[in-house]
């Protein structure tokens, strides 16, 4: 297996008043294609910052990030946007759906930005919403959906342009336990189906059960890398 994400000695510093804080403090890491990887750590450990840097949402103070063969830390903002369109999908803790658009419209947005024709967009969105079990909720606005349903929509949105990598930032943070497992099962099975790489940031130890590799982060550094409990089918009873 070849590595799809390569971090080489990455630093990210912030200024907090007079103090300078290193949120990411020299991390080198390789994530392999098709891997389901979990970045785990307490809040403030720098795991979210690391995710943002890997996804090209934030830039490192020092160090390089390669996705595939592309150095994304040197890309312009527009190039990054196109890069994200093609290769990356996102799932967020608070779903980040557009409140005025229906579920199906929300799912089609990334395809809209890619310039995919409307018919194709809607068809693809329908497929995905069916896959996440929201067949009869397509015309509903986010406010008419439960938290779990909203997160399903956001998962459908992340997968809809068939990205190589899906980044999930605390995807289960706002969900109850039943929904949490369901959501993780959904994401991992979708990712495995299409041989996509899934990077999940969480502080929840239970989530790590879904991962093939768990990277524990503390104070901006890698504390420990563990192989996940479930390497074979990514499912938990």
Partner 1 sequence: MKLTDTLLLSIKNLFRHKLRTLLTISGVMIGTCAIMIMLSLGIAMNRNFLEQINQMGNIMQITVYHYNQGGKTPDGKDIPPLDDDMVARLEKMDGVEGVAPIFEINVKMMAGKYVGHVSIMGIEPRMFDILDIPVNGRPLQEGDTNQMVFGRDVMYNFYNPRAVRWEPIPEDFDITKEKLTISWDMNYGEKPQPGMEKPKVQAKPVKVEVVGTVEQLGSEYSWRILMPMDTVKKYQKEIEKYNRQNGGSNGGGGFYGGVRIMPMYASGGKEQEGYYQVIVKAKSMDDVVPIMEKIKELGYECFSPVQILEEMQKQSAGLRQILLGIGIMSFVIAAIGIANTMYMSIYERTREIGIFKVIGARLNDIRRLFMMEAWWIGVFGGIFGIFLSFGMSYLLNKFNVSLGGSIIWTPDGQKTLPSSVIPFWLPIAALIFAPLASLLAGLLPSRRAMKLSVMKALRQD
Q: Is 17 in the site for partner 1 (CB under 8 A)?
A: no
Total Cβ atoms within 10 A of residue 77? 8
Q: Find the helix or strand (DSSP H, E) in which 154 lies.
A: helix 147-159
Min CB(229)–partner 1 separation in Å:
31
Q: Is 11 in the site for partner 1 (CB under 8 A)?
A: no
Closest CA to 154 of 202, 187, 176: 187
Q: What beta strand segments (E) does 35-162 contain?
A: 36-40, 62-67, 70-71, 88-92
Q: Is 225 in the site for partner 1 (CB under 8 A)?
A: no
Q: Is 144 in the site for partner 1 (CB under 8 A)?
A: no
Residues in 35-94 at the binding interface with partner 1, rule: CB under 8 A:
52, 55, 57-58, 77-78, 81-82, 84-85, 89-90, 92
Kindly give, in sequence order, each residue whose CB lies less than 8 Å from that of residue 71, ignoring residues fewer than 6 positions away: 64, 65
**Which residue stretch of 106-114, 125-133, 171-179, 190-198 sits at the interface with partner 1 (rule: CB under 8 A)?**
106-114
Min CB(99)–partner 1 separation in Å:
8
C-alpha angle 169-72-114 in degrees, rounded to nearest 5: 75
Of 25 and 85, the one with the shorter C-beta distance to partner 1 is 85
Distance CA 109, CA 125 (A): 10
Of 55 and 138, the one with the shorter C-beta distance to partner 1 is 55
Interface residues with partner 1 (CB under 8 A)?
Answer: 52, 55, 57-58, 77-78, 81-82, 84-85, 89-90, 92, 96, 98, 100-101, 109-110, 112-115, 118, 157, 161
């Amino acid at each position: 297996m070849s590595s799809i994400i390569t971090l080489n000695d990455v630093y990210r510093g912030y200024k907090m008043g007079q103090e300078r804080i290193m949120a990411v403090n020299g991390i080198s890491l390789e994530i392999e294609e098709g891997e389901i990887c979990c970045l785990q750590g307490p809040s403030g450990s720098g795991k979210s910052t690391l995710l943002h840097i890997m996804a090209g949402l934030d830039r490192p103070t020092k160090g390089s990030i390669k996705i595939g063969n592309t150095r994304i830390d040197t890309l312009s903002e527009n190039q990054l946007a196109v890069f994200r369109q093609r290769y990356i999908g996102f799932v967020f803790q608070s779903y980040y759906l557009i409140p005025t658009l229906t579920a199906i419209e929300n799912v089609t947005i990334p395809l809209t930005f890619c310039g995919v024709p409307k018919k194709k967009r809607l068809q693809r969105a329908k497929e995905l919403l069916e896959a996440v079990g929201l067949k009869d909720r397509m015309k509903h606005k986010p406010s008419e959906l439960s938290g779990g349903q909203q997160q399903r929509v956001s998962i459908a949105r992340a997968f809809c342009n068939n990205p190589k990598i899906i980044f999930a930032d605390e995807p289960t943070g706002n969900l109850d336990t039943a929904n949490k497992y369901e959501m993780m099962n959904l994401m991992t099975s979708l990712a495995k189906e299409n041989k996509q790489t899934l990077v999940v940031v969480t502080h929840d130890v239970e989530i790590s059960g879904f991962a093939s590799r768990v990277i524990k982060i503390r104070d901006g550094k890698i504390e420990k890398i563990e192989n996940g409990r479930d390497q074979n089918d990514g499912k938990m009873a």
